[in-house]
Amino acid sequence: MLKLNAQADWIERAHQVLPAGGFGNFDPGIMIREGKGARVWDEDGNEYVDYLIGSGPMLVGHGHPEVLEAVFEQLPKGMTFFANNARGVELAEEISRAVPCADQVRYVSSGGEADMYAMRLARAATGRDKILKFEGGYHGMCAEAQMSLAPTRHVNFPQAVPDSAGIPASVQAEMLIAPFNDIETVRSLLTEYDGQIAAIIVEPLQRVVPPAPGFLQALRDECTRHGVLLIFDEIVTGFRFAYGGAQELYGVAPDIATLGKIIGGGFPLAAIAASTEIMAHFDKSAVGADKWLMQLGTLSGNPVAAVAGLKTMEILRRDGQYARLRDIGRTIQTMIGRHLNAQGISHRIVGDATLFDVVFCDHEVRDYRSWLAADSAKNDLFNKVLRTHGIFKSPGKLYPCLAVTDADLAQTDAALAAAAQAVAAA
């Protein structure tokens, strides 16, 4: 049974100093005290198998001893300098070796910053203003990204719907929205707005919805045909799907990629990566004042995050790591299917073995609207029961990590059985 004591006090304190009682990221009704491996503990000492893992960055688990050793070695040497440092250069070299589209890297502190600058970079490089994104696609918190992220009403494409207050109408006018996995709509918009679109930005796996066969390659081909830059938002998929990210897994290289989460090893770090020609827009001496993209950040490329990322990436390069990660994911997917099928519950397991979730529906999930048509009440109950049985996850994603053990999987199996029974009985 869950214990409530110290945690309730912290929740009350949080409501006094934080809007809605939280950081804006996750359920403010739980306070995580610590994490180790694939487990976390809340402020009451309740223990959970962690399939949230910080929303993705802790791919090798919490407190990995080799990552900690690298961080502890760096800390006495300095935490940040607002100047170049060798560890940040080393990390940029490794990213450039690993990521197909990357010749050069520019650091920022968050994935949302990286996506914002990627869109701005595309505008600087093309001299065009409009950006095409996909309904339901998440690209951070900038004004452009907050268009049609999670609209509750359906409008005709390509009209953009702002999902936040405080966004000027002028931003809305520069965003075009298309349904994910619909290449014909993309072709139509590229033709209608020929010469006006700077970039298409896309998550190669949109939240958990996979690209239809050939969709990403078709995007690549159409962008090339129309002189539009293709941006892959690989904040989540980078170094998770494969060492070279979704670009390696799907065999499609964008013009620009954004990276985050794993490259910082649990510390704030993200990056924009592209060819030397495109990245030259960050260099005023190379492109001149009119085409220069100004970018700076107090903590960009700080050495603590760089060494944590370097060690995490070294661990990921070792033999068998990605095979093991996919095996863990497939094992959990099999468990979910077995228990829900035994209860006769309609569902789809959507995503990749390294990042997925269950969607309670009896139709194919191809885009935001087909995902939205699923039974959200069943999803809420399923996740609530998982939490009470010691499973910690996002309402819409399950992130396997390499620290998951056989004991973790056994607890997951039992929790999934209880959750399936609860949904069937509701």
Strand (E) positions, 364-424?
A: 391-392
Is residue 99 within 8 Å of 313, Cβ to Cβ? no
Catalytic pick among 130, 133, 261, 393: 261
CA gap 235, 259 in Å, rounded? 4
Contacting residues for 258 by C-beta, under 8 A, at least 6 apart: 111, 114, 115, 118, 231, 232, 233, 234, 235, 270, 271, 272, 273
Active-site residue, 138 included: yes
Judged on CB neighbours under 10 Å (0-12, 13-18, 19+), 144 is: buried
CA gap 37, 23 in Å, rounded? 24
Give me 154's structure tokens.
């359906």
CA gap 402, 35 in Å, rounded? 14
Q: At what angle do helices 406-425 and 376-388 cross, to 10 degrees?
A: 130
Active-site residue, 117 included: no
Exposure string for 299-338, b = 16+ CB within 10 A, e = fewer = bbbbbbbbbbbbbbbebbeeeeebeebbebbebbbebbee
Catalytic pick among 42, 50, 233, 408: 233
Q: How far is CA 154 from the centre of its chain?
A: 25
Cβ neighbours, 10 Å, residue 276: 12
Active-site residue, 261 included: yes
Catalytic pick among 51, 107, 117, 138: 138
Q: What sign does the CA torsion over 165, 167, 173, 179 have?
A: negative
Q: Single out the residue of 346, 335, 352 nearest to residue 379, CA to CA.
A: 346
Q: Which residues are catalytic?
A: 138, 233, 261
